[in-house]
């Protein structure tokens, strides 16, 4: 049951994220050595895949790398235009996608 609740939350967050506008001041920006557009794209691709079925090991590794990157960059993000909220949502989705993948594998 916990896995179903996680997937429901992930689906709602994904819908919200698809409607959100990428923070314009972060286009072309690297923070702490991380390309902010690529970080968004990598997480979005893996989250989208996780909603269709269990994550493969490559996508799980990408999400784990992205979660580590978010730990570095989020404290350094200017909150202009809701950027912190945008990346916090990405962090929550990445976490849920890795956890829901574990639930499916069990």
Residue-level pLDDT at 68:
97
pLDDT band for 101, please (50, 70, 90 cuts): low
Do residues 88 and 74 make contact, with C-beta atoms less than 8 angstroms apart?
yes
**Backbone torsions φ then ψ of 35, nearest 5 degrees:** -75, 115
Give CA–CA dist 42/49, Å, rounded.
Answer: 11
Residue 2's pLDDT is: 61
> Residue 103 pLDDT more than 80?
no
The better pLDDT of the pair 104, 49 is held by: 49
Give residue 46's pLDDT: 96
Give residue-wise pLDDT tens across range 47-97.
999 999 889 999 999 999 999 999 999 999 988 889 999 999 999 999 999
Give residue-wise pLDDT tens across range 13-41: 999 999 999 999 999 999 999 999 999 99
Give the residue from 82, 91, 18 showing the smallest Cα distance to 48.
18
Spatial separation of the C-alpha atoms in residues 12 and 31, rounded to whole Å = 28
Residue 23 CA: distances (Å) to CA of 1, 18, 47, 58, 88 = 35, 13, 19, 27, 13
Closest to 73 measured CA to CA, from 65, 81, 97: 65
Whether the predicted model's global pTM rises above the 0.85 cut:
yes
């Amino acid at each position: 049951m916990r896995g179903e609740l996680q997937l429901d939350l992930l689906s709602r967050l994904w819908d919200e994220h698809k409607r959100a506008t990428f923070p314009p001041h972060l286009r072309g920006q690297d923070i702490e050595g991380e390309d902010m557009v690529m970080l968004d794209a990598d997480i979005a691709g893996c989250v989208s895949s996780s909603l269709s079925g269990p994550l493969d090991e490559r996508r799980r590794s990408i999400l784990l790398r992205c979660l580590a990157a978010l730990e570095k960059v989020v404290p350094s993000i200017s909150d202009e235009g809701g950027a912190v909220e945008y990346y916090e949502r990405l962090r929550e989705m990445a976490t849920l996608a890795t956890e829901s993948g574990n639930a499916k594998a069990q």
